[in-house]
A and B are shown apart, each in its own frame.
Chain A
Amino acid sequence: MLRFLAELPVLIIAWLSDALEIALRFLGRIFRFGDQEESEQSTGFSGRIRRAIGQCFWFLARLITYPFAGFFFRGRRFWMFLGSIPFFVAWLGIFGLLLAVVLNHERILNRYLSRAQNAYTKQLGALGARYALRWIDEQDYANADRKFLYSLVEIQAGQNDAGERVLEQLSPEDSAGLGIAHFWRAGKCAAELAAESIDGPARQEALKRFRWHLSHASGVRPAQIAVLEAMDAYWDGKPEQAQSKYREVWQADPLQSVGYASLLKRLGNQQESVQVLQEGAQRVASVLRTDPWNRTIRYQLASILEAKEDWGKAEQIFMEGYQIHRDAEASVAYRNFLDRRTSAGLKDANAFREQAYCLVRLLRTQGATPSTLDVASRTFLRSDLEVAGLQRELNQWLVEGLDLPIVHLCLAVCKVIVNEVDSGVWHVEQATRYDSSIQNLVVPICDHLILRAAENRPLQKRLDDWKLALEEKSQKQIVP
């Protein structure tokens, strides 16, 4: 046995050489026909087959050896060979190009993917979406994670609908999908349920969808899922379980203060809700002190303060943020805050001090924009009693030194509304004495109020008179 094993390599070589010889003999018999004249005389089916195979073989042999054999051609054939070189070279170049692209297909798409990621991190959503256009339709390449990136860049580019459509596709209601997309869908369902605008079967259906997506949610911090689970328990009629679960989350993460306070409020526990906001604000404020450049923490703290209706401190937080960052994002955040504060102020008809403050700040920061003019008409065009209350608070702001030119302008409008046009003119004069640019606000406000007070002819007339008086005054100043 051992002897056989020792001879085995020699035997294998011998077998291989025998097989090679047999194959060559066989092939030689076949291919001889393709290149020999006498083969043309071979008849019968097998003869024709052999001839065809032989011709194919020799044609392939000529084709393969052509680039080398061509240099040994003579006469006219050599010139033909030279003429065919451009074709051969170009064809090989094209073939090589395609081969290189096919072999590097994934690497090329990876380039676009990394560019899209890079654009997303630099907040260039529109550019990221363009890079993503290259691979988003590639079935094999655009997996769920990459489609999720696409949804993010679309949302960042302002195409919220497109981004949401992708997220909906990634969180189907009949299969697994992507965990983070399911989390997003669960959050969306939770917002619908929290709005409490749906009832009956529609609510049951929404609840069912919410639970489906929640059961498939993943890819986020456990605390984020726990919050939704707490809400699930609440909607399932288990308030203790919901509260304990949310408390656990809140204790670990003070950024959940607003949500937890909202739950407590729903459960009728108003006092604890206020305490949660108070404690949450303190904890988040201490975090912010260690990292004042962290926008997320700053906005979270502001939102807790907004929930507490501590608008003054919230504004202070935003103003600090603007002083630190001094960029468009901080400016937009402050404007959005001011809009929210104004909306809240206008909800309470008697919150004159708050309404006066918001109007003054809006006029100062945004000028005579359509939204500001809308707030102005909603603030001024009210009953005389309410305007008197507003006037009182504006006077108080005047004493406290809040933006004197704008406060004078607002007082001027109030005076015109309560039929004191001369006093209105005087207040405008005072305002322009402090800040001549106030002139640019007077006409738009006046025109807008005239337009809105369509059913109050006397007021329209007073506003017209006021406008005329101001124009006369300004002309007199120009032509002494």
Chain B
Amino acid sequence: MDWKIGLIFLGLGVLLHLPTAQWALHWDSFSWIGIELLLWGLAPIALVCAGARNFNPSARGESHRATISSIYPCLLIAFASLLWGIYSGTAGWSLRGISIAVSCFLVLLLNSTNQRLYQMVALGMLAPVSTWTFAHQIHWVGQKLATALAGSVLDLGKVYHFYKGNVIGLVSTDFLENQQCSGVRLFGTSLLLVLTLGFLSGYSWFRMVYLTIVALFWIVVWNAMRIAYCVWIQDGQSTLIQHNFVLYDVVCLLGILFFTWSADQFYSALTYKEKDSDRESEKQDAALAGSTLGNVSTRPTSNASLLGIVLSGVAIAGIVGLGGWQLYRWFGLTNGGSRTLSSEQVDQILDGLEFKTSLKDGWVISRTQGAAEGFAPIFRPLARWPHEQWELTNERLKGSTMKLRVDGLWTDAIAPQWLWQWYGWKTGASTLPESTGPNQDAVAFGMSRSIVEEGYVITKRLYLPDPSDSRSRYVQVSLVQESVRPIADPQQSLQRDMFPALYDEIQGGFNASHSTGQAGIEAP
């Protein structure tokens, strides 16, 4: 009886969270990773639909049927994920929480086992990969390898190129391949598919690790080939060539999956023993001959089970409560409660800024079109990444120049240095933040690249005005000085003095736009 009550309440919790899932899936941030999200949804369903063979516990030698009392760790994880997702405003954690709750629901509904549930939870936690805060580090390493391999291919093809960190540039044209070098494409999608294949096939953990490593290898290789192809096509062309990236995605995905399958065949052939098949069939026969679920424990028999029921109950109640609160909040917002800015509106606001009040002492500002070191990283959960840049010059100070740049909208906060590190800058230790004063919470650091490039950056996050969800979205405002010599202390202090006024003017622009009601409804 307990499982039926639990099932009903869990189902209710899942239903209550559907608007949140719908918001996350329809948010512009996720529109470009459609394949990954689709597979994220398909993976648990595919597990369930795998049928009796894979879900028959005794046939797989598995025991311990999942019960309300036994799945409390997963339910608690689901509750914690949802709680953190709502608190931090990160859609990724909300999605993970919902996916685990759905997994628990399905496992209970289909009388499956704990082991199968843990596999589904593992998949649910993994996806969507791009929403993890450490995603950029994974992509950084992967991109480094892919760029190096692409460079090797180009070297053999005698295409003259150079590297700016993870990005390839061509000698023949003024062109940086920062579109294909903006992260490892199809990383989450391919890994998810391969892992799903492994779980469906009931592979051992050792074999899963082997398949994962092989899949990662082919992801890097196919990304490298893709970069090399795009650079090779662009070589010697003065205008940027347009590509059919959807076709490239499909080809690369098929290539990765095919070669991973081929590697799996290699493993099977290498470890194949003639007696294996006989043993397996004997085991299956024995299992089918007996009672299918005869050896599976179904009833809670100890105090531990009681504790499990209590914890599961708390978790389910929490999930239901959070779902109800989210629903209440969602309806409240659609009735004109909170508003935030979309990336297009951010563009418009930045376009309208003139920086007349914040610039004095002979500084002149001009908009820079198409900054070379800017790109849309594929591991940020955004459809596009606005990157605005201005150049500040001062004839009085011997032609001093600085760059003011605004990067964002972003959601998950990561170290501000990563952008420069992606382009090969070696960043030094941060010298701020200051606890008080105009540069409070700003970060400043020196950096160097090549043997003649030096820089100094002062940067600060500017959270968009949104009282209901103030931690969710921000732009990164940075004032950058680049030179062939180390930026001396007087120049650094000049930069630090100028930064607050520029920051305040940008903030003023956002605040004014918000108060005049230009912002649209984006998120609950």
Give A contacts to B, CB under 8 Å. Answer: 62-63, 66, 70, 73, 76-77, 80-81, 83-88, 90, 94, 97-98, 100-101, 104, 108, 111-112, 115, 127, 130-131, 133-134, 136-137, 142, 147, 150, 154, 159, 161-162, 165-166, 169
Contact = CB atoms under 8 A, between A and B. Distances in A.
A101 B149 CA distance: 10
Nearest to B424: A137
A107 to B, nearest CB: 10
A66 B265 CA distance: 13
Interface in B155-177: 155-156, 158, 160-163, 169, 171
Given A83-B262, A137-B451, A130 B171 contact: yes
Contact of A162 (B262, B268, B270, B484): B484
Contacts of B262: 83-88, 90
Interface of B: 149, 152-153, 155-156, 158, 160-163, 169, 171, 214, 221, 258-259, 261-263, 265-266, 268-270, 272, 277, 450-452, 483-485
Contact of B272 (A80, A90, A137): A80
Given A154-B452, A161-B485, A101 B266 contact: no
Contact of B169 (A62, A101, A133): A133
Contacts of A62: 270
Contacts of A137: 450-451
Contacts of A81: 265, 269
B185 to A, nearest CB: 18
B272 A77 contact: yes
Nearest to A131: B171
User: Closest 9 CB pairs between A and B?
Assistant: A83-B265, A84-B266, A87-B262, A80-B269, A133-B162, A101-B152, A84-B265, A162-B452, A87-B263
Given A90-B259, A130-B171, A133-B169, A166 B452 contact: yes
A308 B263 CA distance: 82
B162 A84 contact: no
B258 to A, nearest CB: 7
Contacts of A63: 270
Contacts of A108: 155
A87 B211 CA distance: 12
Given A131-B160, A154-B452, A165-B485, A98 B263 contact: no
Contacts of B259: 86-87, 90
A133 B269 contact: no
A65 B277 CA distance: 23
A101 B153 CA distance: 8
Nearest to A130: B171
A180 to B, nearest CB: 17
A83 B272 CA distance: 14
8 contacts: A84-B265, A88-B262, A88-B266, A101-B155, A133-B169, A133-B171, A134-B160, A142-B451
A84 B263 CA distance: 6
B171 A127 contact: yes
Nearest to A59: B270
Contacts of A131: 160, 162, 171
Nearest to A104: B155
Contacts of A166: 451-452
Given A83-B262, A86-B262, A70 B485 contact: no
A316 B266 CA distance: 82
Contacts of B277: 76
Contact of A112 (B160, B258, B261, B483): B160
Nearest to A80: B269
Contacts of A112: 160
Nearest to A169: B451
Contacts of A115: 160, 171
Given A77-B272, A165-B485, A87 B156 contact: no
Contacts of A133: 162-163, 169, 171, 450
A97 B266 contact: no
A250 to B, nearest CB: 37
A97 B156 contact: yes
Contacts of A100: 156
A97 B228 CA distance: 14
Nearest to B272: A77
Nearest to B171: A130
B480 to A, nearest CB: 17
Contacts of B163: 133-134
Contacts of B270: 62-63, 66
